[in-house]
Structure 1
Amino acid sequence: MAAFRHAYTAALMLAPLPALAGPLTDLAMIDNAVAAFTGQQIGVPGGAAQPVDRRLRLAVCSAPLALSWYGNAQTSVLVRCPDAGGWRVFVPVSAARVAPAAAPAVIAVARGEGVTVTVAGDGFSVSQPGEALDAGAVGAWIRVRTAAKADPLRARVVRPGLVELPVD
């Protein structure tokens, strides 16, 4: 029996290892993209519940990743590689904690309202007009559309008539 185990172990050691099909996607990049999309870090209410599973082996995308909410309750973020035959990953989002006796939020921006969309970073800000596609209170994340970009963007309501896209 020991001879058989030794021969089996030797055969396994001599067997060729499967080669990787090509370079792999950096999974931390997916975590960072989800954090930028949700506006919250991993483990924070409204952000990814946990990092992407490090056992995943995803081919590198030649196009930028496409992120969108999955489901009406926005409990997951769908991350996809838009390349032909690309992959997709669903990232669960931590539920926001709401105090039981929380007062109703006062709507600062109404759906369809014209807003100023500001992109702000360390030492700079750029503004342009846009339209709110959702209603939201101060601090809420809503979808907005600018004249320059046909696809909706997610921005945080700063005050009535002003939304911001923070850049880290």
Structure 2
Amino acid sequence: MIRTLPLLLAVLASPALAQGLTDLDEVDRQVSAFVGQPTPPVDRRLRLARCTAPLALDWYGNGRQAVQVRCPVPAGWTLYVAMPAAAAAAAAPPLVQRGDSVTIQVGGDGWAVSQPGEALEAGAAGAWIKVRGLVPKAPVLRGRVLRPGLVGVDLP
């Protein structure tokens, strides 16, 4: 009995085990495996109820700025793990390649104007790239990749 007391106290002293909380180290491992590279750790101050089902992971945001980690049970929880820009860019496949023909679109509430152009950089969904119209001596513009072949330019 005396030999097992320190072990029992150590187990009970573990906040995650004593309160039935999710192991945040396991969340970190699953997010890193999902992204395919090391990722920033989740905030250790979080106290998430233990999930009785496997965690559901998916990308969040057009530019894959975060990973959504969800406990898919009734009254479960959802956590968003922000990705560094380099990790998100590396994980997102480019929708536009350098030299691709694109449509450059400028628009507002209820209107849109577009023209053909050329991508001067590759970019994934949501990435800002340089584009140029096809007319001679067209200025270089910065636009956001909206979908394959479409780049949106903001008005100044």
TM-score class, shorter-chain normalisation, is: 0.3 to 0.5
Structure (1 or 2) with the greater helix fraction = 2
Q: Normalization by structure 2: what TM-score? A: 0.44
